[in-house]
Amino acid sequence: MANGEERSPATSNRVLDAAVSCFQCAGIDKTTMSNIITESGLARTTVYRHFPIKDDIISRLVLRDIDHLIRYLDTIRARHETIEDQLLETLAFIICEIGNRPVLAELFSQDPIRLNRLGLSNQIVMAYTHEAIKPTYDLIKAGGRLRGNVSLEDFSEWCGRVIMSFVISPHRYRDKPSQMRSYIQNFILPSMLRGDK
């Protein structure tokens, strides 16, 4: 079998999906490579050829989940006409989706240090944040609604801090997205946007 066939995307995704299932049932730390292999239904050698260690699986899942979020954000933005609604729904979507994805939720809310061990440094995470936020930032800037002369880097960092605060300490907002949206609208958006011209 050719090397390209051995490391096919379909096989990789099968392993990743099996890992997600295991992580949801037992958590990341209690899940072993053997658990993932059994869940995937693949041969041990096939799984280890794709992912020699569990951290490789976790790292790939983080990047896959973030890629999915970024791709779907275009759909979210297209549904909302106003700058306020686009920014509000972008933040709300990312916050909710991180909570719905077991690897992202556990890593970001409980074990952010593990990101560095996985090779997912702050720079990599911030690059993804820039990519996710840039279309909204550009719209806000073009509309003259940006508060002060804020750079994309600073704007992305502020958005990232807002998102992480909700992920790490969701409190009463965990199961009440409407209250979370109201909080963001009343307290977060005014810190990011100027009033209508």
Fold of the CATH domain 1-52: Arc Repressor Mutant, subunit A (1.10.10)
The pLDDT tens digits of the residues spanning 62-104 come to: 889 988 999 999 899 999 989 999 999 999 999 888 888 888 8
Our separate counts of H helices and E strands in the chain read 12, 0
The full set of domain ranges for the chain reads: 1-52, 55-192
How confident is the model at residue 99, as a pLDDT? 81
> What dotted CATH number matches 55-192?
1.10.357.10
pLDDT at position 5 = 43
**Phi, psi dihedral angles at 41 (to 5 degrees):** 75, 10
Both structure tokens of 79: 């549904």
Assign 119 a pLDDT band (cuts: 50, 70, 90): low
Phi, psi (rounded to 5 degrees) for 146? -70, 130
Specify the pTM.
0.81
